[in-house]
Structure 1
């Protein structure tokens, strides 16, 4: 495995880092200031659209898509260090049109969408003109097992009728969110993994009711948000179905592989930023007659953080390499491993940084508290730790049976 970055990637890294220094970091506070001046979930800070146009001009757009027809034509291992850089800021992924859940939804449309579906929904998503959400998790069932979902998708003539309640549909609160990919059961009597289908549902369709947005540890993540949505006799044309009836579980597996590794890459970037913040803080502050950086326990925190970040990065690069060379299916153990390792690592690093900052670390004056809250959700999103550990154990036991 060769993890040396190509000349192409090194050039993109430099362009991306320069863009972050010139445009992203200086505008993070302006973004928050603009957001605070309007009613939640009704307003998008103008600075975000301005930065998106600048990113397009610089050629830093849709870097996540490996298909050169739609994106930058980068492999997973080429995209990994770029995604990590974006993960250092909460606003950066959207600026480069590389934010979840749009990335996963665009990948679904690229791979499984019809020509008409691509023209209607993929093109505006690729151009950053609209946003989307992924509606899978349900409040009434343990959705860590996707075969449990019971929202119904029933054929009725030339339409499908959808009934059910979803929650944690991330992105649905955004006023620019126009389309949901909804997963539900189209045939409860089919084999277990062929009962589910996925369908495109415009959010302005009659019967779609946005009940509420759900805060995460008190953060509402406006304008993005995580919505609870009722689908009450929602009728959409049959051509909105993705791929075919009974293909929902297969699409989910295809979608979640790249999505999981993108989450891990961004998480490593967030951990790097937290370690950098911690090092700067302890080099400036004194306690008990010497700099915090000279305290033995602080040095242990810094050393452990560097070791753990590099370990997580190497495992993530291995997973990316395998996805590129042998495919997502063969890399499923490595993908499961990084999905456990990266968020847990980042939470430890960020927690140490919070401790080093003292009371300031839990305030909104710095980004650490928000980072911790956001990354804590990743131990649940795209499958909880326990499911991934179960999968890793299963793959390991097979070697000895």
Structure 2
């Protein structure tokens, strides 16, 4: 395993860092001003997207782009350090058309859409002309187990009719969101992992109702984490994505690379929090010493560096495995990084907030917002506990126990 960045990736990192410094970081204050004033999307987003695309910083996340599709074809390992750079500013990935959940939805459509579906939905998503949402989680059941999903997708002649309620659906409040990929049950009597299907639902279909944009730790995201009602929503049978009963398998295919993206953006956010912590610890004096000269603060800085570097290497390994053996074979590593990285993200942000004191709780730093998103990621794409259970199960299966067997490493009496 060689995780050194290739000359190609180093060049892209330099180009992306320069773009961030010149075009994105100077607009952070303006972004907050406009969003707080109720203007969303912000006034400069489309111009930045045009600029990014003209510089070749576009659709960096898809390793299997076709020649006629816009973007830069990168492996997961090549894309990972670029996602880290984007993660330093929460809204930056949209500039490069690399934002969740659109990335995962484009992956799905790229792998499973019919030619007509690709024309109608994938092409405008690849061009950044529309946004999309992935509607799986439900309020009434533990949706970390997709077999619990209760939304019904019922065949009626040449149509499917959808009834159900979803929530925490990211992007659903974005004015440019035109597509929901909805997961529901087409056959509740089939084997548990063959009951679910995915279907494409245009945002303006009658019966689709946005109930509310749910706040996350009392923070409101302008793109939305919405509760949505689907009541008698009728779409043509051609809107089915893949085959009936394939929804669970499609969801697993979607989540593998997406978890790499989430984790690397989290590492970028944690890296920024550490930089701010170090700067504050050198600039601030308390009790006659610079903050970093107090033992606890120096220890926080050291621990944060160790944890971030460990997490980064682990995510790069998972990305390398997806590229070389596929997401299915890398499922343990994917679960491990998903259980690890959000905790590192929040731990580093919390230390930085403590070093900043009351200012760390305010909107004068990005730390409170970053901590909030890190905390939310402990649920997104499966809660920590589900990933930990999966890891334990795979470890136990790899080392089956035989009754009466004794490890030769144990000291036993003769």
Judge same fold: TM > 0.5, yes or no.
Answer: yes
Residue 393 (structure 2) pairs with residue 390 (structure 1): no
- SS of the equivalent of 1:33 reads helix
Q: Please name the residue that 1:112 is paired with.
A: 112
CA distance in 2, matches of 1:174, 1:369: 23
Q: Is the contact made by 1:208 and 1:232 (CA closer than 8 Å) also made in structure 2?
A: yes
1:217-260 CA distances to partner (integer Å, 9 max, x unpaired)? 111111x0111110000000100000110000000000011111
Q: Which aligned pairs between 1:126-275 and structure 2 lie closer than 5 A? A: 126-222=126-222, 224-275=223-274
Offset of residue 261 of structure 1: 1.2
- SS of the equivalent of 2:14 reads helix
Q: Please name the residue that 2:404 is paired with.
A: none
1:149-172 CA distances to partner (integer Å, 9 max, x unpaired)? 010001111100000001111100
Q: Which aligned pairs between 1:294-305 and structure 2 lie closer than 5 A? A: 294-305=293-304
Q: Please name the residue that 1:373 is paired with.
A: 372
CA distance in 1, matches of 2:98, 2:278: 29
Offset of residue 68 of structure 1: 3.2
Q: Is the contact made by 1:30 and 1:47 (CA closer than 8 Å) also made in structure 2?
A: no
Unaligned runs of 5+ in 1: none
CA distance in 1, matches of 2:311, 2:37: 39
Residue 22 (structure 2) pairs with residue 22 (structure 1): yes
- SS of the equivalent of 1:150 reads coil
Q: Please name the residue that 2:82 is paired with.
A: 82
CA distance in 2, matches of 1:375, 1:94: 18
Residue 123 (structure 2) pairs with residue 123 (structure 1): yes
Q: Is the contact made by 1:28 and 1:91 (CA closer than 8 Å) also made in structure 2?
A: no
Q: Please name the residue that 1:325 is paired with.
A: 324
CA distance in 2, matches of 1:38, 1:82: 30
1:144-195 CA distances to partner (integer Å, 9 max, x unpaired)? 1000001000111110000000111110011111000000000011111000
- SS of the equivalent of 1:81 reads helix
Match of 1:67 among 64, 67, 70: 64
Q: Which aligned pairs between 1:35-50 and structure 2 lie closer than 5 A? A: 35-38=35-38, 43-50=40-47
CA distance in 1, matches of 2:48, 2:277: 28
Q: Please name the residue that 1:361 is paired with.
A: 360
CA distance in 2, matches of 1:264, 1:76: 12
1:98-135 CA distances to partner (integer Å, 9 max, x unpaired)? 11000000000000111110110111111111110010
Q: Is the contact made by 1:24 and 1:91 (CA closer than 8 Å) also made in structure 2?
A: no
CA distance in 1, matches of 2:219, 2:61: 27
1:65–1:231 distance in 2 versus 1, CA, 3 Å: same
CA RMSD of aligned residues (A): 0.8
Offset of residue 291 of structure 1: 1.1
Offset of residue 398 of structure 1: 1.0
Please identify the structure whose Cα radius of gyration is greater.
2
CA distance in 1, matches of 2:337, 2:248: 22
- SS of the equivalent of 2:164 reads strand
Q: How many positions carry a matched residue from both structures?
A: 397
